[in-house]
Amino acid sequence: MTNNVKLELKGISKTFGSIKANTKVDLKLHEGEILAILGENGSGKTTLMNMIAGIYFPDEGQIFIDGKEVTIHSPKDAYNYKIGMIHQHFKLVDVFSASENIVLGVETKAKYDINEVNDAVAAIAERYGFIIDPKKKVHEMSVSEKQTVEIIKVLYRGADILILDEPTAVLTPQEIDKLFSVLRKMKEDGKSIIIITHKLNEVKAISDNVTVLLKGKYVDTVKTADSTESQLTELMVGKKVTLNIDRTEPNNPTDRLVVDNLCSTNEEGIATLDHISFTARSGEILGIAGIAGSGQKELLEAIAGLQKIDAGTVLFNNPKKDKPVTYIHKSYKKVCQLASEGKFHYEDGTKVDFTGMKKKDIVALVNDGKVLFNEDEVIDLRDKTPLEIRELGVRLSFVPEDRLGMGLVGSMDITNNMMLRSYRKGKSFLLNRKNPEALAEEIVHDLEVVTPSIKTPVRRLSGGNIQKVLVGREISYAPKVFMAAYPVRGLDINSSYMIYNLLNKQKESGAAILFVGEDLDVLLELSDRILVINAGKVTGIVDARTTTKEEVGLLMTKHEGINETKEVQA
């Protein structure tokens, strides 16, 4: 690191509508420095970097490169100043090969020859120790391969300033080590690097200096070596906080969901779930870890009845002993059959026998809650639609990864989103909006959702508030199984901890929780057990109280007992 200031920002501000993303931010990056930008979700890190990369244009402020003031009006300008950004959501064209993506937008007079590009890509890869097939199409790549393409793309264009936005979020601990060694090599080459993150251990591991942002404002820049994690946390959150998740011992766990040899294939005929077996217990949080795209989404969707299952069973143990039968409307025949098998009793303990009774009377008996189960009921959820699952009385809640794409409808208001699961109630052709309105008010109040009113389309809310609306609705059904995929992605610290607490509350009330997470630290702290999957296979189920991050990381890349990651690193 030299003392030459490579890049300097002075008084940069940016607003989106009424939201102030950045207010008068200053920043200095030296030549050959690795600068970490630290801040929680929503603190304006990405917006600030996007202004350097030319994606956004600042409302006010100045940018200096090598001491000269510049105006970066578009990504093209940024490239001309040798600035390259690796975005958190990769900017790659799926149907193009690695090389085609890398050469995209390069302006030269030279004739376009993809073979030359392939060679150049291979040369860069060799220099920094990447492994890449230049001809491979992006849609066939793993997440870390895609990231490699992004980095080579920036290097191919000869960038001196590299910006990496949350590059570690999707990587295993071993891949993170690999990435960091590449970054150090680049630093030795004299490149200046900015890395955005909200993970303190990574800041400590890689950076020279740290600039901290809070709510869009510049807080401070400190030398990494001179600061402790708790000091940085305080700067980042703005007040002294203790970030601990209470983990209680599971209370009387019983098997709630038994998944056995579950198999599924996608449209292209590739196996997404490969003989998955595990048991989720009541009153317990089962964390699910794995590299992004290892089958987490497919697993939860298969359980929820949204994926075709090729083989295996998903057995739900409905704790129905001495509880009334509820699903007579749609399954009259089945109820009669179970009654004839002697599965029900009345409140006084006598056996239920429907023989000789009229349908009307039977329905009335069941509807009045007079018919009770003898024992818990086992339901196979396989090949059932979400509606059928619910009509069987299975209280299964699911917070999917893509909140606006799957869990909610962005253009509808909060009330209408509350009705999504309940609108069918009643025989009327028309909707009843009274109860959903009350529920919406309740959730907005209890979970502190920041919104102008319950009539606001949820798309207009911030990520954290959208998630609160979704989780609030799913919890309101008093679930027996609660599944959540990346429930804190994009949320600030306070919202994240609120979600963790809600999960813990569900656990205490006896639900079986399936929690798919990407942050291993959180998974280790929150879960009781962790199920690790890779390429659709279970590679291990470990006790979260005793395992280590490294052990989980190795399981995440384990293939059929051979540890490839270790070989690569050797």
Distance of CA 141 to the CA centre of its chain: 19
For residue 72, the minimal CB distance to other proteins (Å) is 10
Q: Which is nearer to other proteins, 18 or 355 (CB)?
A: 18
Q: Which is nearer to other proteins, 89 or 360 (CB)?
A: 89
Q: Which is nearer to other proteins, 453 or 569 (CB)?
A: 453
Q: Which is nearer to other proteins, 104 or 450 (CB)?
A: 104
Sign of CA dihedral 488, 241, 21, 164: negative
Contacts of 283 (CB under 8 A, 6+ apart): 250, 251, 252, 253, 507, 508, 510, 511, 512
Alpha helix ranges (H) inside 241-350: 296-303, 332-340
3-state DSSP call for residue 415? helix
Q: Which is nearer to other proteins, 375 or 402 (CB)?
A: 402
For residue 76, the minimal CB distance to other proteins (Å) is 4
Q: Which is nearer to other proteins, 73 or 351 (CB)?
A: 73
319-344: buried (b, 16+ CB within 10 Å) or exposed (e) per residue? ebeeebbeebeebeeebbebbeeebb
Q: Which is nearer to other proteins, 238 or 457 (CB)?
A: 457
Decide the pairing of beta strands 83-86 and 161-165.
Answer: parallel
How many Å apart are CA 207 and CA 175, to the nearest integer? 17
Look-up of token digits 């402790």? 228
Q: Which is nearer to other proteins, 304 or 513 (CB)?
A: 304
3-state DSSP call for residue 480? coil
Cβ–Cβ contacts within 10 Å for residue 64, how many? 15
Distance of CA 248 to the CA centre of its chain: 24
E strands in 241-310 = 255-265, 271-281, 284-289
For residue 477, the minimal CB distance to other proteins (Å) is 12
For residue 195, the minimal CB distance to other proteins (Å) is 18
Query: What are the angstrom distances between the C-alpha of 246 and each of 420, 494, 503, 507?
Result: 32, 15, 11, 12
- Beta-bridged to residue 529, according to DSSP, are 286, 543
Q: Which residues lie near other proteins (CB under 8 A)? A: 16-18, 53, 55-57, 60, 68-71, 73-80, 85, 87, 91-96, 100-101, 103-107, 112, 139, 153, 268, 304-306, 385-390, 398, 400, 402, 404-412, 416, 419-421, 423-424, 428-431
- Length in residues, the chain: 570
Q: How far apart are the first and last CA of the chain?
A: 29
For residue 343, the minimal CB distance to other proteins (Å) is 26
Contacts of 435 (CB under 8 A, 6+ apart): 422
Q: Which is nearer to other proteins, 252 or 428 (CB)?
A: 428
DSSP state of 226: G
For residue 463, the minimal CB distance to other proteins (Å) is 10
For residue 531, the minimal CB distance to other proteins (Å) is 23
For residue 373, the minimal CB distance to other proteins (Å) is 24
Q: Which is nearer to other proteins, 134 or 173 (CB)?
A: 134
For residue 271, the minimal CB distance to other proteins (Å) is 18
For residue 170, the minimal CB distance to other proteins (Å) is 18
Query: What are the angstrom distances between the C-alpha of 27 and each of 48, 83, 110, 326, 530?
Result: 10, 15, 37, 62, 40
For residue 431, the minimal CB distance to other proteins (Å) is 6
How many Å apart are CA 106 and CA 394, to the nearest integer? 55
Q: Which is nearer to other proteins, 237 or 304 (CB)?
A: 304
